[in-house]
Every structure is written in C-alpha cells, then in structure tokens.
Amino acid sequence: MENGGKLLIYAPVPVYRQDATLYLENQANVGVARWAENFGHVDVMMPVRDLPPPLGWSAISDDAPLPRNVDLHLLPTAYRPDQFLRAYAGTRSRIEDLIDRNDYLSFAIGGLFGDWGAVSGFAAKAKGRPFAVWADRVESEVVRLGRNDGNWRRRLQAHLYHRPMAVLEHAVIRRSALGLFHGMETFNAYAPYSDKPKVVHDILLERSDHIPTQDLRKKIMTSGQGPLKIVFAGRADPMKGPLEWVEVLEKLAANGVDFQATWLGDGALLDDMKQAVERAGLSGRVALPGFVTDRQQVLTALRKAHIHMFCHKTPESPRNLIEALISGTPIIGYDGAYARDLVHGHSGGAFVEIGDTGGLAQLVTAIDADRSRLAQLIEDAYNDGKIFSSDAVFKHRSDLIKEYLPGPAKEKAPLHA
C-alpha cells in the first residue's frame, strides 16, 4: 500500500526531559522511524517525565533528530488520580485537536489513571472517528498476578486496580474498529471484545540483526562441544520468573549438567537473584551483569547461546523470544500461546507448564544429553525467526490500519449504486 495519509498514535513509552533536552527510548525511536516510513506524516503522543533519563534512552538532537515527517506531542504523566483529574480536560482537548488533524488513528492502551490511549479512544468514538487499538500484553492480568509482590502500597494498588483496568480495556476495545494485538496471548485475551482482532508482532531489530548464515552453520557444527550455554535477556521482575530461573539452574547442576548461564537485564529482583545464585553455589557458572546498553552485545550473547531459557509467568508477548529466534537460539521455557505460535512453523522451541521448574530442568537436561537434537533445534529456531524484522512487522500493522480504517482516499471515493 502507498505511504500517504496522516497517522496519529499514542505510545505509553515515556519521554524524559532534562535541561530542555528530550530523551526517547532507543527502541521506541526505531518504532517511530518505521511508522514514518509507512505514512506521509505521523503525530506521536507520549507522556513526558521531567527526570534524568534512564539507561536505554538517547537525546533527540541535531545529530539524532526525529524523521522529518514526525511531530512529537508530549502529554503529562498522570498515574495518580489527582494528577489525572487535574490534567484530564486540557489533555483531552489537545488529543481531540490532533484527532481532527489526522486521517488514521491508533492508540496503545494499558493502565488506569493516566492512560491517555484509552482517553484518545473514547474521544475518537465521541467524534465518530474509527480507530485502532494496540496492546502488547494484558496489562490488567499482569497487575492481578503481581498483586502479592512489592511493598504494601503496590500490593494494595494492584488489588484495587486490576478489575477496573480490565473493564476499561474491554470498553475501549469494544469501541475500536480494529484490534492490533501483539502475540497470541494478548490476542486470545482481547479478541472476544474486538470486531476486527488481528495478531501482529512487535520487533525493533533489522534484517541485518539476524545471525549471518556462516555464523549459524558454525553454531550448529559446534553445538556438541563444551558446556551448555544458557541465556536470558529481559528484566529481573516477578513476571519474568527470575528466581524460578535460578531454581532451574540449581536443578540442572544437581542433574550433572555442565552449563554456563547469563541473565542480561536489570530489575527489582536482581539482588535477590545474586543471593540465590550464591546460596546455590553457582557463582562461577552464572553471570548477572545487569542492564546492557549495547544492543549488539545483547545480540552477540544471544547468538553464542545454545538455548534461551525463560520462565515468563504472565500473559504477555515479550520481544526477547523473537530476538532469540533471529539469533538461531531455541526458546525453551514455560508454555504459552505466544511462544507456541512463534515456533509453529518449524518447532524451534520446547515448553513445559508454567511453574514446572522440575519439568523445565528435565527438558533442558534431555536437550544437553542429545546434542544432535540441540543442533536441529538451533536450525529450526533460525527458520522460525526468518520472518521477523522491524520493517516487515510495522508494514504489516500499517497495512492493516490502511485496510480497515477509512483513510482520506476512501472518504473521497464516489459512492456506487
């Protein structure tokens, strides 16, 4: 489809502002560029925080500008009820003006107070404007499953918020003309509330980030040598099951498996992981370097690994599984519709029930003992990952928006008897 038309999107990834300089998350920057390739003009709404940027955010500057056909619109961060009520009227008015100026509308949802994507959906519906809704995980379910984690304030908030969040999510989706749901977990949860639900994917890596063929062949040929190399790339948060991941490693050691494991990522449970690793006597076999800013370093670690072992516990669609597949690294972990769908073509993964650390340890032990099976899994993972790249997945989403939403050309088309 042609790249014309004006698109308005809301993305909840925060922009950080320090000394009048704006900082955008590196991966969100890639996403903005991909949207700009598929539309004539893109208005991007994002919340802003007046704080120093965390790792993984880069300055928008003369040396690293936004695409010329992109305008960034900063909305207030208003996750507390009082903040949201104060900001609501003025922010909704700004959103309505942007809705009037654009041909296509797509809003990410997830949250309760301060969810400007949901506000945008209600505003569009009030104006009679069809819009797409985007979700990359079932946010209300993530909050529900985390209601026993964190300090008492977080636990209380989770208990109070998860049901109203689900009601809000369903209400916005019912009013949308198109549902763009990242992965099968999200699709299965939200499809019943959408008139036109579509499974889409979200990855911000290029085709050049796929493992080169010669490196893949070397990886397959040497898969029978040395200790089993295990990797995970993601946050050390409860929803990722980091302590269960360490528990599986402890069971592998008890099974006599020779392995080297690395968890790439920071998070609330990283210190707990370090303590668990030390208690299990695995300090020499497990590396926990924390957050890695260099994406090439992450890809290198994924390419060198034999398996990407994961213990995801919530209905989400994490990009790290796709990143593993494009690195020729089988995904081995807890079962879920998203993971199964990623490898339905070539079976580049294997799964056990959520929470079954013993079963996961047995599975990995069996893979280690059968290195010919491992070699086949590596090739299968590579073939499953071939279809994924940022240009392909963003073009797919853009084409769906243009197909199912009434853009300018459709509005001007003559009526036929």
Q: Which residues contact 121 (CB under 8 A, 6 or more apart)?
A: 107, 109, 131, 133, 172, 175, 176
Question: What type of residue is 8?
Answer: L
Cβ distance 43 to 118 under 8 Å? no
**pLDDT for 252-292, tens place per residue?**
999 999 999 999 999 999 999 999 999 999 999 999 999 88
Low-confidence ranges of the chain (pLDDT < 70): 1-2, 148, 150, 152, 409-417
3-state SS, 331-353, equals: EEEECCHHHHHHCCCCCCEEEEC
Please give the pLDDT value at position 409. 58
**pLDDT for 41-92, tens place per residue?**
999 999 999 999 998 899 999 888 999 999 999 999 999 999 999 999 999 9
Identify the structural domains of the chain with CATH numbers, from first to last.
6-205+391-410 (3.40.50.2000), 207-387 (3.40.50.2000)
Distance in angstroms (rounded) separating the CA atoms of residues 59 and 55? 11
Distance in angstroms (rounded) separating the CA atoms of residues 195 and 179? 8
Please give the pLDDT value at position 363. 98
Query: Locate tokens 């690994």: which residue?
Result: 305
pTM of the model: 0.78
Distance in angstroms (rounded) separating the CA atoms of residues 22 and 36? 19
Cβ distance 347 to 385 under 8 Å? no
Please give the pLDDT value at position 2. 59
